[in-house]
Amino acid sequence: MTARVRLHVFLAHAGVASRRAAERLMREGRVQVNGETATAPGTTVDPARDRVTADGREVQVMTEVVVLAMNKPRGVLTAARDARGRRTVVGLLPEDLPRTVPVGRLDLQSEGLLLLTNDGELALRLSHPRYGVTKRYAVLPAQPVTAEQLRRLRGGVDIGEERPAAARTARRCGRPARHYAEGDWFEIELHEGRKHVVRRMCEAVGLRVLRLVRTAVDGVALSDLAPSQWRRLRAAEVEALRAACGLGAPASPRPVGGLPPPARGQAPDGGRGSGGSGPRIAIDGPAASGKTAIGSRVARALGLAFLDTGALYRAVTWWALRNHVPPEDRAGVAGLLRDLRLTVGTRPARDDPEALQTTVHIDGADATAHLRDRPVEAGVSLYSALPAVRRHLLALQRRFAARGAVLAGRDIGTVVLPDADVKVFLEAKLEVRRARRGETAAEQEERDRIDASRSAAPLRPAPDAVIIDTSSLTIGAVVSRVLDIVTERVS
Ligand code: DC
């Protein structure tokens, strides 16, 4: 079970072209999916698995893992759509959310907690018995449950299959939430997911079920969600769920649109055990030290994905300013981050076609064109000094790098990837940097001062970084220098 997206939308989110222009590229036969030219307008792709190229260049996007918790009402089908036109859970969600699929199944008359996600691997594992994810249900029986019936549910009952079904716990409880009537509710906890298993177990001990409400999946609880309501899980909840089914961050492979090809001279796993496919390279340095120009060329030379992490901090700043949330409003910033739906991609930079530019979409809105707006320039250091912002972007950056990538930023070698295969810290004289960016000396100094003095991840070279002063070197010279270091360190 995976979340597929339409190819032209995928291309648009990756910053390749607008949706309409992407459709044109497809019609012109310039887009390939797993090596096959894709011209059909309705073509869909699975960003986690398919390798998409446009004009022969790999399209890499990374979409944040989104997990939603919904209170599925009775009578609504656990499906994306229904041929007979019945109401479905996906139909209850707003259209502008990233496309998600239900995790497992709650049958038509059952209700309560249903998770939906765009992470195909997570969906698969959460519903697979092998990973033994615990699920809790509240049951309202037609007649009060007896102690003997609870004991039998715990001991294991015959449900007409080879293996009996046993509950981990079974005990009386109050109503699951205030949306439900008072009554003789009891709750049971199970590790398994056989079809209709709770109803069949209840029948086997002679109980007629009036209502069946799932109240928890692993550590995620239904809480006070009203029927049909949903919420987005916080990053920490998502990581906990992923960890519960063996998808631990940060070393796990993440759906990145298309695997970067193995780098030159690389062991297939990049020497980092299973899941890796290339080296992880940290390029840090102050503003205008050449991180993006150098980092993206290095990435291209090695066939690795590239991420300019400054673009992430800038995009968050743009979003906060657009929503009128100042950096002092911690609760407001936390709220923004909770609902942030951020997608990054790469495209050739406009002013330097040999370099790559990181594109960022938030809630489907293209932030890319605003990343260098004056108010963003002025505010970015303040927002990026907030620990909540750094924490939020940390997980994203690590997932991006999991299969090998070049990350350019301020704290990649020190905080984001302390075990990066290669760490480079670029420097340049103040006046050289000022000329490159067109900033005034005061602006530049102020930015450097805040970046270097903040308590969260201050700008400084990692102890094991190679420091290169780029002031009087050409881009080509620095790139060769970095490639030499990569060859030395990783072969
Ligand atoms: O690289 P840049 O100039 O686009 O970065 C803009 C700002 O983002 C910079 O002033 C500090 C912040 N930033 C950060 O704090 N950590 C990073 N890894 C990257 C950028």
What domains can be seen in the chain, in order of their start residue?
5-59 (3.10.290.10), 67-243 (3.30.2350.10), 280-489 (3.40.50.300)
Q: From the CA of 385, give the closest atom in ligand 1.
A: 15
Where is pLDDT greater, at 135 or 490? 135
Please tell me the pTM assigned to this model.
Answer: 0.55
Q: Are 241 and 249 in contact (CB under 8 A)?
A: no
Q: Largest alpha-carbon pair distance within the chain? A: 84
Q: Is the CB of 357 under 6 A from ligand 1?
A: no
> For this structure, is 107 an active site residue?
yes
Quote the ligand 1 centre to 140 CA distance (angstroms).
54
Quick one: pLDDT band at residue 61, thresholds 50, 70, 90? Answer: low
Find the 217 Cα to ligand 1 centroid distance in Å. Answer: 38
Task: Return the closest-CA partner of residue 279 out of 302, 252, 308, 300.
Answer: 302
Nearest atom within ligand 1 for CA of residue 288: 3
Determine the residue type at 397.
Answer: Q
Ligand 1 proximity of 310 Cβ (cutoff 6 Å): yes
**Most confident of the ranges 158-172, 310-324, 357-371, 453-467:** 310-324
The reported pLDDT for the residue numbered 64 is 67
- Kindly report, residue by residue over 188-227, the tens digit of the pLDDT: 999 877 888 999 999 999 999 999 999 999 989 998 899 9
Q: Is any ligand 1 atom within 6 A of the Cβ of residue 313? A: yes
Residues 344-370 have pLDDT tens digits of: 888 888 777 788 899 998 877 889 999
Q: What is the pLDDT of residues 317-342, one digit of tens each?
A: 999 999 999 999 999 999 999 888 88
Among residues 107, 184, 363, 373, which one is catalytic? Answer: 107
Give the Cβ contact number of residue 383 at 10 Å. Answer: 24
Q: Is the CB of 289 under 6 A from ligand 1?
A: no
Q: Using a 6 Å cutoff on CB, does residue 381 contact ligand 1? A: yes
Reported as type and span, the H/E element at residue 450 is: helix 441-453
Residue 34 confidence (pLDDT) above 80 = yes
What is the number of residues in the chain? 491
Any ligand 1 atom below 6 A from CB of 314: yes
199 alpha carbon, distance to own chain's centre = 35
Measured from the Cα of 454, ligand 1's closest atom is: 15
Residue 249 C-alpha to ligand 1 middle, in angstroms?
Answer: 23
Spatial CB neighbours of 258, under 8 Å, sequence gap ≥ 6: 50, 51, 52, 53, 58, 59, 60
Average pLDDT of the chain, as a whole number: 85
- Find the range with the poorest average confidence among 40-49, 170-179, 247-256: 247-256
Report pLDDT for 295: 96
Nearest alpha carbon, ligand 1 atom 14: 410
User: Distance between CA 431 and CA 471 in Å, rounded?
Assistant: 9
